[in-house]
Amino acid sequence: MTATKDHTTAPIPMTDEQKFFFDLHGWIMLPSVLSADEIEPLKKEVYDGAKQAYQSELQTLLDHPAVSGILSEILAEEPYLGEDYYSYRCEGSFITVRPPGWEKPQGTSTPHVVRPPQQANAMRYQVAGNKIFSGLTRVVWELEEVKAGLGGTTFLSGSHKAHFNYGGPDPYRPNISESAWEDSLHKAMAEYSCPAGSVIIFTESLLHAANDWTNPDNARCAVFNCYNSLWAQWHRVNLSHEAIEAMPPKRRTLFRGVWELGGNKEYSEDNRAL
């Protein structure tokens, strides 16, 4: 697969088992999606300084068949699916390299969400008509091994469906700061171990946190891509028309404008999300 061509492998459908656990926990891990040969050039780009997955080989992760079937399942519905365009949007990407001893930042180390799922809003996780709608959704590509307890992202499984707030002073606050039971919430966070080349997918309605990277054996080298429904946008898209235009046609549709009435299937300079 080269960055200049669209993927030729069809999106891999989400399995019933994946749906069950994504709904139950709010996140799933797909182990060893990439082979060692596939990981190497991606890692090289990251260690050479790439900060986002919009360029070179890294952009092939944006719509990798292992995640595009799942994203269609959890962000789109039948009438909006098509072969030539994606049925969900990409609205952000960042890359992080965390050497052994890297210390967690103030903000994202507090378990947080996009919006607390106890209130109705367009970003939140929902299930209706036997269908998941994940809202703002994150896909993390781990390009180095992650060992549980040594610095991967942690999750409060099930909290994407919590009906009660986190015990803090403000029900609209999108994190657990000042909660009377902050310690027990921290203790309840789930961890994962995974080989290099694995993927984690989570709804941003789930409490999640960044952690100190204490694994002495390797850095954390992770690509964080963010997705949303065709009808909703959270982040400003920080990507030029030229960068999108350089992508193959189907991949470009990840960046089209946020509207649907009458059909919105192609990307163009005047039909892009800003």
Ligand X SMILES: O=C(O)CCC(=O)C(=O)O
- Contact residues: ligand X, CB under 6 A: 108, 138, 153, 208, 210, 224
We find the least distance from the C-beta atom of residue 224 to ligand X, in angstroms, to be 5
We find the least distance from the C-beta atom of residue 210 to ligand X, in angstroms, to be 3
If the CB atoms of residues 55 and 108 are measured against ligand X, the closer one turns out to be 108
CA-CA distance, 244 to 241, in Å (whole number)? 5
Q: How many CB atoms lie within 10 A of CB 168?
A: 17
CA-CA distance, 212 to 210, in Å (whole number)? 7
**Mutual angle of helices 16-25 and 65-75, in 10-degree steps:** 60
We find the least distance from the C-beta atom of residue 98 to ligand X, in angstroms, to be 8
If the CB atoms of residues 29 and 210 are measured against ligand X, the closer one turns out to be 210
Residue nearest to ligand X (CB): 210
Q: Which amino acid is at 101?
A: G
We find the least distance from the C-beta atom of residue 254 to ligand X, in angstroms, to be 18
Beta strand spans in the chain (E) = 27-30, 89-98, 126-128, 131-133, 137-142, 154-155, 198-203, 208-209, 220-228
If the CB atoms of residues 33 and 267 are measured against ligand X, the closer one turns out to be 33
We find the least distance from the C-beta atom of residue 225 to ligand X, in angstroms, to be 9
If the CB atoms of residues 9 and 121 are measured against ligand X, the closer one turns out to be 121
We find the least distance from the C-beta atom of residue 183 to ligand X, in angstroms, to be 20
If the CB atoms of residues 174 and 197 are measured against ligand X, the closer one turns out to be 174
We find the least distance from the C-beta atom of residue 271 to ligand X, in angstroms, to be 27
CA-CA distance, 264 to 258, in Å (whole number)? 9
> CA-based angle 81:85:89, to the nearest 5?
85
> CA-based angle 266:71:231, to the nearest 5?
50
CA-CA distance, 188 to 157, in Å (whole number)? 8
CA-CA distance, 211 to 251, in Å (whole number)? 32
Q: How far is CA 244 from CA 52, 129, 238, 239, in A?
A: 13, 35, 11, 7
We find the least distance from the C-beta atom of residue 48 to ligand X, in angstroms, to be 21
If the CB atoms of residues 133 and 224 are measured against ligand X, the closer one turns out to be 224
If the CB atoms of residues 108 and 214 are measured against ligand X, the closer one turns out to be 108
Distance of CA 181 to the CA centre of its chain: 28
If the CB atoms of residues 219 and 267 are measured against ligand X, the closer one turns out to be 219
Beta bridge partners of 154: 209
